[in-house]
Amino acid sequence: MSQIQNFAKRRPEAFGVLITLLGVGFFIPDALVVRLIRADTMTIAVWRGLAAGGVTLGWLVLFQRHLLPSWRELLSPAPLAMIFLQGVGSVLFLASMGATSVANALLILATAPFLAALLSWAVLGERIGRDTALAIVGVFAGVGIIAAGSGGGGRMFGDLMAVANAVTIACYYVVLRQAKSQNLLAAIALGYLLTSAIALLFAPMAALDARQILLIILSGAGILAGGAALLMIGPRYLPAAEVSMITMLEVVLGPLLVWAVLGETPATLTLIGGAVILIAILIHTAQRLRAPETV
């Protein structure tokens, strides 16, 4: 543990990139796991939120009780914002995917880094470096290529839900960046429970078999809880727009994993766009890892 802490102190930006990549790695199989559940998405959201919230709160109580906030701390602006953003974001994403084309949803979602950059500049006074700006443009171009090969057919309601989801993602990372001295894991756990409460209003709550239950536990207790905990650390070491950009890896690698396992072949432009995104992020990551140490 001390070696990790020393590395984070000496190479904060490199540590931020690596921990963010690890968090994204948790989320890459999430689309595949959700697809394998084969249940109503709102029903999945209810049980997944309960699993993630329960595991995260249980971890805090059993192993990190000192990180549990008081009621006064929990009702301060940053934790309240995180509860809201975490709770609403998942519902907005599922709503957008159900009401517009995947192409529209992905293209709009890719605006999150730009929104995060704008919010970081307005709220935190952060400047976005040239390398990061170029990488963001590359990521956006790649998702645009994917969208061009997926066809249209989006509806206004779904597009608006995708815009709202992109805004919540941008705000999520800006709040984490601004409140980097606070541990917001408890607030995120309560956000999972808020997701369940919201989704419950729309879920038919059909019966699930043992296989579906196990996959929901994997998705909620493993992927969602573990990945979000790691991604919460990234903005302490990197600008919000940069963390948001790196998470775009999930947009590329998630569908490719579904293709490999379930045989859902992506379009040629999807593969080309995915390659553009991967190259942009890999180049940017390599630049960060070569950055000089902080002494």
In tens, the pLDDT along 9-54 reads: 778 778 888 888 898 898 888 888 888 888 888 898 899 999 999 9
User: Which runs of consecutive H residues, i.e. helices, occur in the chain?
Assistant: 2-10, 12-27, 30-37, 41-63, 71-74, 77-99, 102-109, 112-119, 130-148, 156-178, 185-200, 210-217, 225-231, 240-246, 249-262, 268-289
Helix (H) / strand (E) element for 237: namely none
- Give the tokens for residue 107: 């293209």
Our CA dihedral for 236, 238, 240, 245, rounded to 10 degrees, sits at -130
In terms of residues, how long is the chain? 295
Instruction: Answer whether residue 243 shows pLDDT above 50.
Output: yes
Output the pLDDT for position 150: 62
Three-class DSSP category at 165? helix
Q: What is the mean pLDDT of the chain?
A: 82
For residue 178, which amino acid is it?
Q
List Cβ neighbours of 260 (8 Å cut-off, separation of 6 or more). none
Flag whether the pTM goes above 0.85. Answer: no
